[in-house]
Amino acid sequence: MKKVVKFGGSSLASAEQFKKVGAIIKADESRVYVVPSAPGKRFSGDTKVTDMLLHMYATASEGKDIDEEIKAIKARYDEIITGLELKDFSLDKDFEEIANLMKTEPSKDFAASRGEYLNGKIMAKYLGVEFIDAAEVIFFNDEGKLNDYKTEKVLSERLAQCERAVVPGFYGLGKDGKVKTFSRGGSDVTGSIVAQAGRVDVYENWTDVSGFLVSDPRIVDNPKPIKYITYRELRELSYMGASVLHEDAIFPVRRCGIPINIRNTNRPEDPGTWIVESTAQKQDYVVTGIAGKKDFCTIFISKAMMNSEIGFGRKVLQAFEENDISFEHMPSGIDTMTIVVHADEFLHKEQSVVSAIHRLAAPDSIEIEAGLALVAVVGRGMKSASGTAGKLFSALANEGINIKMIDQGSSELNIIIGVKNDDFEKSIRAIYATFIKD
């Protein structure tokens, strides 16, 4: 059994956190590959090292002095090095190099990547294992996307040679031979790539929450944790804003059937959430998760005999495509169709969309409404349970909530309902109380 363990920024924000991480790794022999993030926030209001580095880069690129900023960043690492009592180890040389490069040839990605690079060096020293610079084993292509073929080849050969290793998260080597980072939160992606190339059995992703919760704790009091969630359910929920993991982290492990276990560094005894391809584990509830987002707009289009006009839908959608707007949902009637879009993508282009629909599809009328919230009720269990929709609608009716839209895919994995923005929180609480019982 082999595992990759990825630790997020808050798990490595201080020497004290590092010690917890060390204990976690040592508690299980199979935790062989470690992917660290940069030191994150130690308390609310603190600044992540990645943000300090990005600020330093901005200062350097304006030609201003960065000595004070370098000092503050170095202090974050020195606290960790001293707290861990690492003998014969210092990052002085690395900081000199960073400072020189920032003064001569400042690069944003290089600056941002140093957070993980330096933390990785400390981690390797602390654990007494090999340090593998991600720029030697993770590669991007011309388009700036992961070159998975080359990465898989080089990284798997390298990992096969070492029993244990630390690979810093968040960056690799660009096609131009310079360091390049993933988007923010990208250490999750590195963890997934290392899991795939290292042929491991489990990808443990350690953070500061005990996995996914059935609903948002800012809306529902003390929501239950999710024990098992499938990749498809996760996709539905993260689309609706429930995010713990970087979106691109799923693909590499999903492809080779490696489960992800989300764990809490501050509560290592909690089992966390398992993200799996498929599972026969008994579910506590029919519903796996409830998530949602506010601020959608609806564009309601009607035209007599629409149902028999071939190509009408395509013409309407073309109006959105021309304006570079992606639509989220499209419930339709016989002579009507409704397009649901994100308000922030749509509002500043609304008149241009309306005129394009008139030009392309010649409808009888178009009505626009703002202030719609969408709530997604997701669960693989809904397929085999009858009455889920009935219970859901009664839950909302009992609270006097008017449902403005309903969308259920034939996969029966989710039901999406549209309600007024003002009813959003109340709807989620009502649905939670109906489906999730103690």
Residues that bind ligand ASP (CB under 6 A): 9, 37-38, 48, 50, 115, 169-170, 184-188
Nearer to ligand ASP, 190 or 230 (CB): 190
How near is the Cβ of 50 to ligand ASP at its closest, in Å?
4
How near is the Cβ of 251 to ligand ASP at its closest, in Å?
16
**Tokens 């169709």 found at:** 337
Residue type, 256: C
Nearer to ligand ASP, 152 or 188 (CB): 188
How near is the Cβ of 103 to ligand ASP at its closest, in Å?
23
Q: Which residue is nearest to ligand ASP (CB)?
A: 187
How near is the Cβ of 115 to ligand ASP at its closest, in Å?
5
Direct distance between the N- and C-terminal alpha carbons of the chain, in angstroms, rounded to an integer: 35
Sheet-wide strand order for 202-207: 130-131, 165-166, 31-36, 3-7, 202-207, 260-264, 273-276, 228-230
3-state helix, strand, coil in the chain (%, to 5): 45, 20, 35
How near is the Cβ of 132 to ligand ASP at its closest, in Å?
17
How near is the Cβ of 155 to ligand ASP at its closest, in Å?
18
Nearer to ligand ASP, 171 or 424 (CB): 171
Report the b/e string of 267-283 with b at 16+ CB within 10 A: ebeeebbbbbeeeeeeb
Report the b/e string of 27-64 with b at 16+ CB within 10 A: eeeebbbbbbbbbbebeeeeebbbbbbbbbbebbeeee
How near is the Cβ of 358 to ligand ASP at its closest, in Å?
44
Closest residue by Cα to residue 5 from 165, 125, 121:
165
Nearer to ligand ASP, 13 or 242 (CB): 13
Residue type, 101: L
Nearer to ligand ASP, 73 or 290 (CB): 73
Nearer to ligand ASP, 38 or 337 (CB): 38
Q: Does residue 221 contact residue 433 with C-beta atoms inside 8 Å? A: no
CA distance 369 to 279: 41
CA distance 4 to 13: 20
Nearer to ligand ASP, 196 or 205 (CB): 205
